[in-house]
């Protein structure tokens, strides 16, 4: 599966950029939205986000954990996340 995701996204540009603010709730929500729409997302980490002890690997792992996605690959400052689509269920009860 990882091979397929890498192949599909190899020529695509990242659709999300992580800046100096790091991983915010808005960023996590956007990643969630894109994962729900297309199952995979390519993220670029800007150099400003790599201050202190943050590495591309640690940011990628943290983002994957928060979105419950699989981390496919970290290459330089770009990483790829994949998650199967979640089934949206509505619990409507009639009374």
Q: How far apart are CA 69 and CA 57, in angstroms?
A: 15
Render pLDDT for 3-39 as a digit per residue (tens, 0 to 9): 777 777 777 888 999 998 989 999 999 999 999 998 8
Paired tokens of 20: 């100096």
CB atoms within 10 A of CB 74: 19
**Higher model confidence: residue 94 or residue 30?**
30
| Domains of the chain, CATH where assigned | 2-82 (3.30.110.60)
pLDDT reading at 91 higher than 70: no
HSE, CB side, 13 Å, CA atoms: give it for residue 41.
28
Render pLDDT for 28-87 as a digit per residue (tens, 0 to 9): 999 999 999 988 899 999 998 888 778 899 999 999 999 999 999 999 999 999 988 666
């Amino acid at each position: 599966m990882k091979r397929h995701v890498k192949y599909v996204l190899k020529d695509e540009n990242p659709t999300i950029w992580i800046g100096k603010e790091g991983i915010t709730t808005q960023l996590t929500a956007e990643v969630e939205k894109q994962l729900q729409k297309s199952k995979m997302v390519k993220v670029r980490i800007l150099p400003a986000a790599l201050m202190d002890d943050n590495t591309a690997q640690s940011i990628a792992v943290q983002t994957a954990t928060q979105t419950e996605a699989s981390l496919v690959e970290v290459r330089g400052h770009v990483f790829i996340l994949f998650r199967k689509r979640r089934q949206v269920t509505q619990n409507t009860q009639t009374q």
